[in-house]
Amino acid sequence: MPRDLRLGDEGVLLLGIRRDDSYIGAPESDTEIEPGDTVVLYGAEDRLRELSGRESGDKRAHENAVEDHDEVLEEQKQLTE
């Protein structure tokens, strides 16, 4: 399920899921991602590249990505103050 991936914590948004001949736009957090689905994501290019090569269940990579995203948010906050 998308909520289990916690992509938002990494600054990545799940915009949709292409499944066979259909498209699920703005999927709910309890929508199942099935084998063969193509996910449509929005985020920083380097994060999306890292994510595409990440091993399933790699918690350390997720934690690193969350830390990176938190740093970006802090930098943005400082720029707006």
**Structure tokens belonging to residue 70:** 């938190």
pTM: 0.84
C-alpha angle 46/68/8, rounded to 5°?
80
C-alpha angle 54/57/52, rounded to 5°?
20
All structural domains of the chain, each given as residue ranges with its CATH number in brackets, are 2-80 (3.30.70)
d(CA 53, CA 76): 27
Q: Which helix (H) or strand (E) holds 38?
A: strand 38-42
State pLDDT tens for residues 9-55: 999 999 999 999 999 999 998 999 999 999 999 999 999 999 999 99
